[in-house]
Amino acid sequence: MSYKEKKVMTIGLVSELTGLSERKIRYYEERKLIFPERTAGGTRKYSFLDIERLCEIAEKMEDGLFTREIKELERRKRKSASLA
């Protein structure tokens, strides 16, 4: 596992790094666009890859896409990658 994949950052730090509110980050999780790990106490933990993903999601939302459209784009990307 690379350092980019390790889930070590809290939602507060991720919010600072991305400029997204904690509420918006939780919303993206609720919409199944991001998948943080949880500690035994329930604290969300994020990786650098999660931060990159959140920034991509935010850009697509700013461009006018809906969360369902973003999920569909990701599904297509995964499908085409598995066919390659």
Q: What is the pLDDT of residue 77?
A: 86
Q: What is the pLDDT of residue 1?
A: 84
Cα distance between residue 35 and residue 31, in whole Å: 10
Cα distance between residue 39 and residue 50, in whole Å: 16
For the chain (length 84 residues), average pLDDT per consecutive 10? 92 97 96 95 96 95 94 88 78
Cα distance between residue 5 and residue 64, in whole Å: 29
In CATH terms, the fold of domain 11-83 is Multidrug-efflux Transporter Regulator; Chain: A; Domain 2 (1.10.1660)
pTM assigned to the model: 0.86
